[in-house]
Amino acid sequence: MKKRILLVDDEKEFADTLSERLRTRDFDVTTAYSGDEALEKLKEYNYDVTILDVQMPGLNGIDALREIKKLKPLTEVLMLTGHGTVETAIEGMKIGAYDFLMKPCEMDVLLSKINNAYERKYKHEERIRKAFTEKLSTSPMSVFK
């Protein structure tokens, strides 16, 4: 199954071009041009990794991150930062972002961070599945509660 990426950046041409590059590398990529649009898309679909610009008009990166984590706690978030916004990205990591990237970023660095974020999400989901299976085997009726 392809890894599902949500790319959020108000710079439309940047988001479109980067998403096209990721698609050529076999990712399933959706773009959103604002924090609000990202939240709408997250309600409709499960993404493995969200790449989120820190500085956007309207709902900024940190507020968007908080909402994403409320909505889809397992979705991993990579913060995209520019000059002078590294502190914001660090704040983002304190509230649940997986990592951050400086813009413009090298493709191999981006791919490595996406893959690492995906791995973490996959392992997290595996642990949840395992816990659920154990619960089911010890107490089958608990699933009907």
Give me the residues that bind other proteins (CB under 8 A), please: 11, 13-14, 17-18, 20-21, 24, 55, 82-84, 103-104, 107
b/e code 28-37 from CB counts within 10 Å (16+ = b): ebbbbbbbeb
Give the shortest CB-102-to-other proteins separation in angstroms.
9
Nearest to other proteins of 82, 96 (CB atom): 82
Give the shortest CB-89-to-other proteins separation in angstroms.
14
Q: Are 93 and 79 in contact (CB under 8 A)?
A: yes
Give the shortest CB-83-to-other proteins separation in angstroms.
4
* Cα gap 88→21, rounded to integer Å: 27
DSSP 114: H
Nearest to other proteins of 28, 67 (CB atom): 28
